Every structure is written in C-alpha cells, then in structure tokens.
Structure 1
Amino acid sequence: MHPHSPDQSPAPEPVGPHRSVDPRKLRADDLRYLLAVARTGRLVAAADALGVDHTTVSRRIAALEKSVGLRLIERGTEGWTLTDIGRAVSEDARAIEEALNRVVDTVAGQDSPSLHGTVRVTAPDGFGTVFATPALVRVRRRHPQLQVELITATRQLALRPSGFDLALVIGVPSSSRLVTERLTDYALGLYASDDYLTRHGRPETVAELREHALIFYIESMLQVGDLDIERHLPGVTPAFSSTNVFAQLEATQQGAGIGVLPAFLAQRAPLRRLLADEIDIRLPITLAVRREAVTHPAVRALSSALRQEVAERSAELIPG
C-alpha cells in the first residue's frame, strides 16, 4: 500500500515477537484509519468514511505499522483484511473511538449516547428488503448520525470476510473470523397464480411437478447449498430462473410457472399455495458478525433490532 497506489501494502521492517514499542511514537488518531479499513475492507471506502483521500489512509496505516513494527492489514481476494495482530490492535482501538464519541455527545449536551460512523450490512434480497430494512431504519431514526449501508445479494460469505460488519446469510457459514448465531428459520413453498392454474391445471402430486414450469434461482450461479433445488425437489429443473427473488415472485404472478418462494413474500401476493403438506422447506437465517466488529455499539444496536424484528413477525416467516 504505497501512498500513490491503493492496492499495495505497506511493508514494515520485520521484527521479533518481543520487540518493545515506545507508546510515545504511537499516534492514537492513526487507529481510526485502521478501524475504517477493518470495517470497509477497502481503502477508498475507508477514505470516504473518514472524509480524506485514500493516500492519506495508506500513509497513516503505514505509519502505524512502522510504529508497532508489524503488519496490521493484508490484501485478500475481496479487499483488505486484518492480520491477527491487526484484529487485536483494532479491538483495543475501539475503546478509544468510543471514548471520543462519548466526548462528542457530552459536548453536544446529549442525555443519551448517540451512535456514529458507518455500518455495512449484507443480506439476501428478499429477507434484506422485507425484514432487515425496517430494523435498520428504526435504529437510524434514533441515531441520525449513524450511516447504514445495506447490500443485498443471495450468496455465500467468503471464508475471509471483508467489506461488511454484519451479514445475514441463508444457512450456517463456517469461518473462524465470524461470530454467528441462528437468527430465525423461514419457510418456502410452491406457489402459482390463478391464471397459471387455469391454463395448466393444478399438480396433485410431487411427481406431477415435472410436467410444469418451475421458477427458482439459476442453479449454475447459486452458491448457497441450502437453496439447491435438487435437494428439495429431485429431478425437477426450473424453466424460468433468476438470481433475484423479486424477479421470481413477479414471474410467478405473471403466470410463467410455479414458484418456489419464501412464504413471507408469496403471502403478500395473490398466489395459491400448492402441495403444502408435501413441500414445506425450512431454511435458517444466520446473523454473522466479523470478530473485529462484535463490540462496536452500532453493530450491537443493529443486531438487537434485527432480533426484535424477526421475533415480532415470526408468523410471516413460518406461517401456521
């Protein structure tokens, strides 16, 4: 990471594990730059969050690494990630950042601490829109200085996660760099429009589904094993596929076929549930947080809001 290139990493002199660091040479403000890169995984994004140029971020982290004599960040396939010592340093740095935010609140005369900074959340298209968005907006309403970014995509989390603080993912990811909890389960079923059923008839058995057009994800582009259609409907091949669940929902409403849809989406549309006793798919939604973001007050607040949202609306996720 050279001051003139956001893609090169600083290379401090290698040192032994017991090197003594002079605290007088450490600049506490440099820690803010490390935290910003830890949260975004990108130099440019970190620079935007801090209101500086990416070369400044590069230079300040290089200075911090020189002060401690150890590499704190490293280049990954999806951006920058913290080294083991970098994660340890960032955890201690959060306490300094939180103390500064409390000072700001005190000076501003606020009775209760407000949340600051930027938190990035990733979630599947459907769940992210219908459940995550209301929860995130509720937190934002209480903390107007907080910036929340929501990225929606139905995909697998990378083994070396970067570029997010908190993720909602279908299934159970396995990574030592994530702290995970099962947030909720949700149900999927078969749904069709009245128009489709009038034109093509209603399947009465699972075997008869092979005679109908199925709507689901694009198998070759789907990385989430829990959504593998062969696992749930062996021998059935989708005739209309999309990477976006809302496109699947629209195609089902337009009569293009029978959709394999989340109940929380399908029940909002004029669709008929088919073979409910035979096809009732249950999948978990996992809440995953990067280890270096676990103690961040805003991440904790958003996680709590998400838990509240699914608890209050559990009947939509798994209808009775």
Structure 2
Amino acid sequence: MHPDSPEESSAPRPTGTRRAVDPRRLRADDLRYLLAVSRTGRLVTAADALGVDHTTVSRRIAALEKTVGVRLVERGTDGWTLTDIGRAVSEDARAIEEALNRVVDRAAGQDSPSLHGTVRVSAPDGFGTVFATPALVRVRRRHPRLQVELITATRQLALHPSGFDLALVIGVPSSSGLVTEHLTDYTLGLYASDDYLALHGRPRTVAELREHSLIFYIESLLQVGDLGIERHLPGMSPAFSSTNVFAQLEATCQGAGIGVLPAFLAQRAPLRRLLADEIDIRLPITVAVRREAVTHPAVGVVRAALRHEAAERAAELTPE
C-alpha cells in the first residue's frame, strides 16, 4: 500500500437518508486522527504528528467512517481533504479535543487553562518570514503548550482547502470552505543595486526598462494571478527568475538586474528605488481561515496577533 493511501472503507457515500448512529459505538480517540488529517492534508504527516505509523491513521479513519456510515475524507489534488460532512465532524471533534485539554489542565491545578494543540499557518515566503514569524513567536511565548507550524509558499489555495488552519494569501481567494478578511496591503516597486546602476545606467522612463534585465517570479510556475508581471509591466519578461522572493532579493543585491520586490524586503537591503511614481504596485494580503477552524481559540489568538503585527508595522508594508 502507498504510504499516503487510506485503507478501503466500507463506508457508503452520503445519501439523502442515513442510518442512525449509536453514539456508544463511536471512539472519541478516532476523532483525533480525523483532526490530524484535517490539519495536515496528508496521512504520513498526520501520523508523524500523532506519533504513530500511517497505516494506523488510515485504519482509524476507516473505522470512524464505517461507524458513522459516511465518507469523511477524500483524495484531493494536493493530498487529502475532508468532505462537507467530514469538516462538520472535525469541527465538533476539535471541541472534544479542547475539552480533554482543559481536563488535563484542571487536573494539573491550573485555574486558567492554557491553549493546546497545533495551529498550522500557510503564508508567502517574504511576508511569512518577516511579519508572520514575529507574530507567531509572541503567541508561543504567551502559550508555551501551543504548537505553531508555518508553511511558506507563494501559491493559491485549493478549491477544497486542507493542510492548514489559517492562510495568508496574496489577493482574495474564493472558496466556500474559507472565511476571509483583508489583513493589509503591501507595495512592490523596482529596485537596483549601486553596482548595477553604475554599470548599466538608471532607467528614466518605463519604456527604458526594456533595455534592462528584470528579476521576478518564474511566470510559468507562478500560481498567484495578482503577481503576474504582464499585469503590471506589459510586454516585459524577467531575465532572472525564481520561485523564492529571497533569491530574487539576493540576485538584485548581486547586480543581476532590476528587481520587482516588496518594499518591506527591499528597504532592508542596500538598494535604490527606481521610477517610484510610475511603478507602485499595491496588492492585498488576505487572512483565510478554514471554516471549521474559525471558532478554535488558538486560531483566534493567531489571527489577532497577525492583525496587530500588520497594523503596528504598516509603514514598512506601504511606505510613502
């Protein structure tokens, strides 16, 4: 069996009429396995988080599906995702998990139960490193029993999102499984090193940019439409491209060309802003929370910390 393939389950597909389930047949512990797959989107990763092997995860979810008589997970384009019923069950399961953690705290003599569990955050490379990381570190200091995971990638969210509790995305995602809110805007501009300008000269107009090497994302691999260079600099294409914004920043510092970079990164480097009046790209950062995770206290704390970070450092994101 492939390590990320669940066992075949005898659970039927949901239909209009479902048989009644005896609550006494449900094993609350099986719900932990469903929660782990909900958070990670992969059986192997869920198994690592639970300290078991992937076959155990597969077997326990299959047993849970058989008990409730419906499919709870299904194969997606990027791992495993929960069905609509699975998401509803997962939301209820999270409440059970939180109640168990409170029992542990009470038994340990803690009058004010601390936050437990795992919150997985997905964010673009640059924003995730420079803004999300400090916010998450502060959350961990206040709640040391909370596990926080940060995945950095500049990508669009799947139609049926999985593998995260909260995501920071460029633009505005559209998915019925997400609750979204605008977090902040950020600015991208043109930047170059002194060495590059000394060797190649400084472009005085947008038309003169065609005589220079641009640095940006690999267009064919870029999954975020709002970042497409054709949208902001029609007819131009990068001479040096990377899927990683930090590689773009380094290439710009090394004099490989003119970088189309976030201001919050470029201003930390010895770079010159070019054509600021003509090229001032502003894009939104959206917070997207999986619908079943919205009421989770830890997700709420992380969400608030990200709002605070963005508000406190707004001048870095959209400098005058």
Given that 1:11 and 1:71 are in contact with CA atoms closer than 8 Å, whether structure 2 keeps it comes out as no
Matching residue of 1:298 = 298
Matching residue of 2:214 = 214
Matches within 5 A, 1:130-145: 130-145=130-145
Choose 288-297 or 251-260, whichever is displaced more. Answer: 288-297
Q: Cα–Cα, structure 1 residues 87 and 213, in superposed 2: closer, same or farther, change >3 Å?
A: same
Choose 177-186 or 295-304, whichever is displaced more. Answer: 295-304
For the residues of structure 2 that align with 1:40 and 1:204, how far apart are their CA atoms? Answer: 49
1:112 is displaced (CA, Å) by 2.5
Given that 1:179 and 1:290 are in contact with CA atoms closer than 8 Å, whether structure 2 keeps it comes out as yes
For the residues of structure 1 that align with 2:186 and 2:176, how far apart are their CA atoms? Answer: 25
Choose 201-210 or 106-115, whichever is displaced more. Answer: 106-115
For the residues of structure 1 that align with 2:316 and 2:44, how far apart are their CA atoms? Answer: 39
Amino acid at match of 2:34: L
Matches within 5 A, 1:163-182: 163-182=163-182
Given that 1:72 and 1:83 are in contact with CA atoms closer than 8 Å, whether structure 2 keeps it comes out as yes
TM-score (ref. length: structure 1): 0.95
For the residues of structure 1 that align with 2:201 and 2:296, how far apart are their CA atoms? Answer: 54
Matching residue of 1:258 = 258
CA RMSD, 1 decimal: 1.8
1:304 is displaced (CA, Å) by 1.1
For the residues of structure 1 that align with 2:243 and 2:13, how far apart are their CA atoms? Answer: 46
1:3 is displaced (CA, Å) by 11
**CA deviation string 1:238-260 (max 9, x = no partner):** 11111111111111111111111
1:52 is displaced (CA, Å) by 1.9
Matches within 5 A, 1:1-320: 6-13=5-12, 17-320=17-320
SS of 2:31 mapped into structure 1: helix
**CA deviation string 1:208-237 (max 9, x = no partner):** 111111111111111111111111111222
Q: Cα–Cα, structure 1 residues 164 and 14, in superposed 2: closer, same or farther, change >3 Å?
A: closer
For the residues of structure 1 that align with 2:14 and 2:178, how far apart are their CA atoms? Answer: 29
**CA deviation string 1:55-106 (max 9, x = no partner):** 2222222222122111111111211111111111112222211111111111
For the residues of structure 2 that align with 1:186 and 1:286, how far apart are their CA atoms? Answer: 11
SS of 1:29 mapped into structure 2: helix
For the residues of structure 1 that align with 2:13 and 2:214, how far apart are their CA atoms? Answer: 58
Q: Cα–Cα, structure 1 residues 5 and 35, in superposed 2: closer, same or farther, change >3 Å?
A: closer
Q: Cα–Cα, structure 1 residues 5 and 235, in superposed 2: closer, same or farther, change >3 Å?
A: closer
For the residues of structure 1 that align with 2:78 and 2:225, how far apart are their CA atoms? Answer: 21
1:188 is displaced (CA, Å) by 0.5
Q: Cα–Cα, structure 1 residues 282 and 35, in superposed 2: closer, same or farther, change >3 Å?
A: same
Amino acid at match of 1:247: A
1:14 is displaced (CA, Å) by 5.6
Amino acid at match of 2:71: R
Given that 1:49 and 1:118 are in contact with CA atoms closer than 8 Å, whether structure 2 keeps it comes out as no
For the residues of structure 2 that align with 1:173 and 1:161, how far apart are their CA atoms? Answer: 11
**CA deviation string 1:100-148 (max 9, x = no partner):** 1111111222242222222221111110110011111111122222222
Q: Cα–Cα, structure 1 residues 264 and 256, in superposed 2: closer, same or farther, change >3 Å?
A: same
Between the two proteins, the alignment pairs up a number of residues equal to 319
For the residues of structure 2 that align with 1:131 and 1:155, how far apart are their CA atoms? Answer: 17
Given that 2:30 and 2:61 are in contact with CA atoms closer than 8 Å, whether structure 1 keeps it comes out as yes
SS of 2:307 mapped into structure 1: helix
Q: Cα–Cα, structure 1 residues 116 and 131, in superposed 2: closer, same or farther, change >3 Å?
A: same
For the residues of structure 1 that align with 2:110 and 2:95, how far apart are their CA atoms? Answer: 20
Given that 2:192 and 2:258 are in contact with CA atoms closer than 8 Å, whether structure 1 keeps it comes out as yes
Given that 1:3 and 1:59 are in contact with CA atoms closer than 8 Å, whether structure 2 keeps it comes out as no
